Amino acid sequence: MKILACNSNRPLAEAIAEYLTMSITNAVIRRFSDMEVFVEIHENVRGEDVFVIQSTCYPANDNLMELLVTLDALRRGSARRITAVIPYFGYARQDRKSSPRSPISAKLVANLITTAGADRVVTLDLHSGQIQGFFDIPLDNLYAAPVFTNDIRARYQGDDVMVVSPDVGGVVRARAIARRIDADLAIIDKRREKAGVSEVMNIIGDVRGRRCIMVDDIVDSAGTLCNAAEALMKAGAVSVAAFVTHGVLSGGAVARVTASPLEELVITDSIPATEAVKLAHNIRQVTIAPLMAESIQRISEERSVSSLFD
């Protein structure tokens, strides 16, 4: 088995390699003067089981192209099996036609990854489960739930906790966390009455006197998350925290979170933290390296991955 790291999330790749007591494969991934991607692998990969670690986060197109060119280099280098490990799968939010003549970009990206040479894909908390069906190769969709559950138990032991889904679409994810920590579940139903009027938050469940924990897969602009935190506090919650797998946090999201009633926002290192995230007083990052490393080890040894989440 070999671990190869592209450039998008080198610290996570190094942490995974350290957990597996391995060194990262010697490779050069650089740009020509016109920003064209060039990949050169300086180790023999013939007959090897190679895992390529690359999040397709910002800049999404550059990082996706790096992944595709690396997969092609490994395929042409006669690797036995190539697994694309994509902790954050970009373009996942474009998983259906949301309007006439719009693309299904998640399917396009799945086709590109398969054509480039991947034999298998490993990812974390896909935005929607049906994306697994876009791939004609095996895909392992891992869950951050065990990482979040351990952190919640360590920090909220003995507290009156209620898990909250910030929208109806995330109920399944929130319920899984609630079941693991034996907590109640509340749901926020948000709707916009008319264009130009702010969203109205309706809370399904009694949150008075409870420490609320919102659970979601992606936080981008953080607008919904912060509005939901305000609604929960107005409804009588003692405190509000959020556990979100992928911290995209684009634009003014970090400033929005720091100015919000959120006690803390906990994200994973599926996307590397920006300097603004590192300096924010109420944003904290937890690592998924042991979870990803254990999954990689099990795939290499042809053992069960799903048993990690039982």
Annotated binding site for Mg(2+), which residues? 127, 167
- Spatial distance between the Cα atoms of 270 and 289, rounded to a whole number of angstroms: 9
Fill in the DSSP letter of residue 135: -
Report CA-CA distances (Å) from 199 to 190, 224, 255, 292. 6, 9, 20, 37
Residue 278 is a catalytic residue = no
Residue ranges for the binding site for ATP?
34-36, 93-94
Residue 225 tokens, joined: 């998350």
Catalytic choice (190, 194, 234, 278): 190
Q: Which residues are annotated as a binding site?
A: 34-36, 93-94, 127, 167, 192, 216, 220-224
Q: Judge contact between 140 and 120, C-beta under 8 A.
A: yes
Indicate the annotated binding residues for D-ribose 5-phosphate.
Answer: 192, 216, 220-224
Bridge partners (DSSP) of residue 50 are 2, 82
Neighbours of 47 (CB within 10 A): 9
Q: Using CB atoms within 10 A of its CB, is residue 32 exposed (0-12), middle (13-18) or buried (19+)?
A: exposed
The residue assigned the tokens 């929607």 is 128
Euclidean distance between CA atoms 275 and 278, whole angstroms: 5
Active-site residue numbers?
190
